Structure 1
Amino acid sequence: MCYFEQTRWSCGYWKWGNFRQQCNKEYRTGETCGLKLVYDTSYMHGQCKICDQITKKDRRMRKMSEDIQRWQREGNRRATIEKTQQDMTEIQIQINDLCHSHQEKQRSIC
């Protein structure tokens, strides 16, 4: 039950910070007992790094979608459209993975 700093963003995502204080159960200097308690929480405004990554990937998806619509109007770009659609599928999988890890961290106990 050693004490650590914690950072929490407005979206609910959090992470452990630096070690702050040793508990009574651990007698060795510089060692921790393995259990973490919150010493102090720093609240950060804005998005966490995962939310930033999701936002960037969403913008990229919108751009690719707009490009595909333009290429379909122009015609004669079938290979480019197929490649972009494959890229969009890969990016969507990445977005889903990021969202899942973000939700898991929000649900987990500090």
Structure 2
Amino acid sequence: MALTRLIGMCFYNQKRFSCGDWSWTNFAHRCNYEYRTGETCGMKLVNMTENENSKCRLCEKIETKFRRRSAEVDRLERWKREGATLVASMDRSQKLIMDLDKEIYVLQREREDRRTTLTR
């Protein structure tokens, strides 16, 4: 507690995922610069880092989209190899692959934006 009074900052615990991403977790120590009772100064410093073996939510979503895209590409290639006459299904499959590419791109951008910001 003496350290927080010297520095004048509020400390939070941090969770670091296996993918390198991180998030704030529990509030640890309050500084003496409270604006109102029960509020913090707004400055977040790391008190303790907990290492997590799993990946963050965004990385898990991206991996799921990649697996779904891979399965759809395999299905489309199989249909083409077998000379399927399901043109409507093949077109729908190609559209789904393009939609998944867009969703993956958006999630990757969101992940990069989160990694470049200091607060979450």
TM-score of the aligned structures, taking structure 2 as reference length: 0.81
RCO higher in structure (CA 8 A, sep ≥6): 1
Aligned residue among 107, 112, 118 for 1:109: 118
Q: CA deviation at 1:13?
A: 0.6
Counterpart secondary structure, 1:88:
helix
Residue among 4, 14, 23 paired with 2:12: 4
Match of 1:94 among 84, 98, 103: 103
- Which amino acid in the other structure matches residue 34 of structure 2? E
Hey, what does 1:78 align to over in structure 2?
87
2:25 — aligned with what? 17
Distance 2:58 2:91 in 1: 28
Pairwise CA distance, 1:109: 3.0
SS in 2 for 1:40: strand
Q: Which residue in 1 is equivalent to 2:63?
A: 55
Point out 4+ residue stretches in structure 1 off by more than 6 angstroms.
none
Alpha-carbon shift at residue 27 of structure 1 (Å): 5.5
Q: Is the 8 A contact 1:14 1:105 kept in 2?
A: no
Whole-angstrom distance in 2 between the partners of 1:47 and 1:32: 29
- Paired residues in the alignment total 110
What TM-score, normalized by structure 1, do the two folds share? 0.88
1:94 shift after superposition: 0.9
Deviation at 1:57, TM superposition (A): 0.8
Identity across matched positions, percent: 35
Secondary structure (helix, strand or coil) at the match of 2:19 reads coil
